[in-house]
Structure 1
C-alpha cells in the first residue's frame, strides 16, 4: 500500500511539474511573439479635410464593422472579457483621455490599420488588419480624415490581457491574435481604386469578407470565435451549399435584410446591420466577383 501511495505521489509530482513547464512555455513563447519588433516605414499620406472625404471615411468605418470594437463614438469598446481567452477592447481613437488621437500621426494610424503595428513597432493585438492590408491609400486617408473629425472621448480601460487559453490557442494557430505576423508588409497597395461594378472592385471589397468566410470563401469555423458561433457559409457559386442558385436580388436581400431566398433569417453573426449600409455599386460588385469564382463544393449547408 505504501508503495502504491509513493508511486501515486511521484506521478502527481511529475504531472504538476509537467503542467508547470507547459504553462511556462506557453507564457514565454506567446509573450516573446507579442513583444516582437516590426520596423515598418510609412509613406506620408495626404489626409483630406473636406466634408465629402470625411463622410466617405465614416461610411467605410461603418460598413467595415469598426464600430464593433471601437464603438460608435470611437472611444473604444470591450469585445472580449473571458478569464480563459483574455480581456480585449478596441483602442480609443479620439483625442480624449487614453485616446491615440494626440500621440499618433496619420502615418502611425495607417501603420496600425494596414499593418497591425503600433507606433512603437510592437504588434497590435486582435486588430483584424488582414481585412484592411490591401486597402488603397485614398480609402485609408478618408478613413483617417473621419477619425480626426470625431470629438474627444475619455476612456479608462485596464490593460489588454491575453488569458492562458488565449495564449495556448494562439500558439496552436487557432487564435488570430497578431495579424502583423500574417500580413505581407511589402505588398503593393493602390493609390486609389475605381468604384464600379466590376470583378476587380468586387475582389477589392470582398477581401474584407475573408476574415470569416476564409481565403477561398468556402466558409467554415471562424478563427478565434466562441465555440457556439455558427460557421461561416460557403459564398462561392456551389449550387448545393453555396450561392449557386441565388439571384442578385437574393444577394441584395441577404446583405440588406439578413434574409435567405426562402425568407429564413441569417445569423446575426453575419454583420448585415453594417452591410445594409453599403451602396448598390459595392453590393453589385461583390456579387459580380463572387459569380466569377470557380465552384468549390462543401459538404454542409449552413442554416444558422
Structure 2
C-alpha cells in the first residue's frame, strides 16, 4: 500500500481575472476549488492512475471537511487527524501573470503528532510512505527524519519531497526516493548549476549522502534519474504548459504507481515523466488516459 502524508493541506482556490489591477474591484471570470497539498496531490494522481492508496495528515474546520469530502468523492481513501482551527486556503490568481497567496494553516501539537506516529507505526516492508511539502512552524524542522526513524526497523520505503534542511536531514536514513528540481539542487549545495553534467554531479552527491534513488526534474529539459543501475535521462514531450501546480507531485505518483506494480525502475521513471508532463499540460492533475498518450513521446536513455 502507498501512504501519503500532508502536514499542511489547503483548499487551492484558483481564480481567473482578465487584466487584474490592484487597488480596485476585479471580477472573476472563472474559478475552481481543489483539495491541495503535495501529499494530497500524489494521492489524487495515484487514484487517477488506478492505484489504491491512503492519504494521511491533518485537517481542521469547514475547510478541512471540504478536503476530506472532495477526496472521498473522487475515491481516495483518507485517514486524517482533525485539529482545532481551519485548514488554510491558498489563492492562485491567474491573469496577465500568476500570483499566489498562501495561508499559514493550523498548529499541530505533540498529542496530534503522536496520533500520526501511531498510524505510521503499523506500516511494513510492503508499504511506501510519501512525505511531501513544507511543514508548519510549530513543528521541528527535522520532522521527516523523526518519521523515518520509526520506519527503519520495518523497512518501509520512504519517499521525501521537500527542500533545504528538511530534505538533507533525511538522507542519513536512506530514503527510497527524493525528487528535488534543478533549482532546489542548487540551493541545497549553495552553488550555481549551469549544465546537465553539474546536475548529475550534485545529484550523485545526494546518493553518496544516503538517498537510494534521486530524480531531478528539469521542466522542459525532461528529468534525470540517478540510481544503482546508472544515470538516465527522460525527454519531455511537446505540449502547452497550462498548470504549474502539481507536476512534481504527479511525477512521484506516476513513478510509484508503476514501480509498486513492476519493480522496474526505468519503466517507473518513464511513467513518472509522462505523469508530470500530463499535469503540466492540464488544468488539474493528470488523468490516466493522457499519461498513456504521452508515454510514446518520452525516450529514456542511459547516460
Q: Bin the TM-score by the shorter chain.
A: under 0.3
The structure with higher relative contact order (CA 8 Å, sep 6+) is: 1
TM-score, normalization by structure 1: 0.28
| Bigger Rg, structure 1 or 2 | 1
